[in-house]
Amino acid sequence: MDLETSGLNVNRDRILSVGAVVIEGGLIDLGTQYECTLYQENHRVTESVLIHGIAPSAVAEGVAPADALLDFMDFAGQCVFVAFHAAFDHRMLQRGLRDELGQRLRHRFLDVAELAPMLCPGASSRQSLDEWQSHFKVVNQQRHHAAADALATAELMLILLSLAHRENLTTLADLESRLRHWRRLRQARIGTM
């Protein structure tokens, strides 16, 4: 999944667009996608429009946030969300659900931005979605478009799942356990520098 927002402040900025695709059985189901632009009252042009290209006119014609988020969560069901820099998407979605629907977000998130360097230590200097797309030769024709970025993230996730499988990480619990260990090692290395 991917969100495009009015900015990067998780306490003030708002969700403008949601995009998601489904990975099931090791495949991306291109027939099952979600894309929605949200209406946000008094949305103004900011520097973020230069990045994601969502014009105020598109936001003015968007779906009411409560309806869009309810529809998105119905689409998502009980899934595990996969995102690039998932902490940001998690906090924005969590705040949106709380503010618009009075609901808590209970889904688990996997962060491709963490999984990629963990599973590809030789390429760990890469940090952005653009760099990982280039490394794995994933084509994204509409960068900073929620649905296109969600698809690119899903493609990266499938590559990473293949690499994980080669390391006998075959379950979500295996992957999460390795990720916790990798985080501790990384923190220890940072602490010794």
pLDDT value, residue 2: 97
Which residue bears the tokens 């969590």?
94
pLDDT value, residue 175: 95
Structure-block tokens of residue 148: 């296109």
pLDDT value, residue 190: 77
Q: What values do phi and psi take at 32, rounded to 5?
A: -120, 90
Count of all residues that appear for the chain in the document: 193
> What is the Cα–Cα distance from 146 to 68, expressed in whole angstroms?
14
Q: Where are the domains of the chain?
A: 2-191
SS3 136: helix
Q: Mention the CATH class of domain 2-191.
A: alpha beta
SS3 124: coil
> What is the Cα–Cα distance from 182 to 188, expressed in whole angstroms?
10
**End-to-end Cα distance, the chain:** 35
- The Cα-based distances of 8 to 46, 52, 89, 92, 146 in angstroms read 12, 12, 10, 9, 15
Cβ count within 10 A of residue 145 = 20
pLDDT value, residue 141: 82
Block means of pLDDT (10 residues each) for the chain, 193 residues, are 93 95 94 94 69 80 97 97 97 97 96 96 85 93 89 97 96 94 88 67
* Angle at which helices 129-136 and 112-119 cross, to 10°: 50
148: region left, alpha or beta (phi > 0 left; psi from -120 to 50 alpha): alpha
